[in-house]
Amino acid sequence: MAKVLIDLHINKKLHTNEGMGSLNVSLKIHEHSLVTIFGKSGAGKTTLLRIIAGLTKPEGGFIRVGEQAWYDSGEKINIKSQLRDIGFVFQDYALFPNMTVKEHLLYASPLKERKYISDLLDVFHLKGLCDRKPGKLSGGQQQRLAVARALARKPRILLLDEPLSALDSDMRLALQEEIILAHKNFNATTLLVSHDVYEVSRLSDYVYVIDNGKISEQGKPGDVFKSAIPGKPAEGYGPNCYCSECGSLRQ
């Protein structure tokens, strides 16, 4: 069995549509797994990724990655974001408008490894677009670039915050395949935030469901979402909570 890479227990105050709430979660993530954080909008999914990345500070708890403490409120440890071994793909991709595709990857790569960058360009079908800037790329091409740039750091942990949410269904299916391929080929441990039950079921080894700031369910997607079919919601969610056309969790 793979060893635990991330051991986390944190609490953080949340501002939600219903007022003040709190995120209080404990989870363990095994090395080289692809794990999804699933839940409704405002549940705290993105906040959890930002806490792991060091972009948001929790009120208390700990984050241990391997043998290293990235955050520990009791020991007053809080490793800076740039020193955490992560690659982060934001919902809006956060690409630099004045950089070409190749410049994005060279900028992100600490050792400027040409062979590794060439491999990324191949896997994400970007080789013919090396000299284009983001404004000249389609939405799918921008998404490919965002993931490739995150992997250019050779991160131990890849964080994906709903990277496919703005794409149409055909493009989502195609890029899901590329995420699976990249996860396997580039040896990262991947955390994906999503509210699309079919995307989660297709991509994930394991899923944590966050509801009202807490882990309400966890397990393999086939077990957690065993009744999540069009017109019939998964246990723990209200009637018609899944879109009958795309399978997304209704907001």
Distance (Å, whole) CA 58 – CA 51:
7
pLDDT of residue 231: 40
Residue pair 163/171 in contact (Cβ under 8 Å)? The answer is no
Distance (Å, whole) CA 147 – CA 47:
20
Sign of CA dihedral 115, 121, 122, 123: positive
By C-alpha distance, which of 247, 91, 243, 101 is closest to 166?
91
Give tens-digit pLDDT for 111-166.
Answer: 888 899 999 998 888 999 999 999 999 988 998 899 899 999 899 999 999 877 76
Q: How confident is the model at residue 246 (pLDDT cuts 50, 70, 90)?
A: very low
Residue pair 145/101 in contact (Cβ under 8 Å)? The answer is yes
pLDDT of residue 17: 66
In terms of CATH, what superfamily is 4-85+155-224?
P-loop containing nucleotide triphosphate hydrolases (3.40.50.300)
Residue pair 227/235 in contact (Cβ under 8 Å)? The answer is yes
Give tens-digit pLDDT for 176-217.
Answer: 888 888 888 888 899 999 888 888 998 999 999 998 889 999
| CB neighbour list of residue 239: distance below 8 Å, 6 or more residues apart | 233
Give 229's DSSP letter: B
Give tens-digit pLDDT for 5-49.
Answer: 999 999 999 876 667 889 999 999 999 999 999 988 888 999 999
Q: How confident is the model at residue 100 (pLDDT cuts 50, 70, 90)?
A: very high
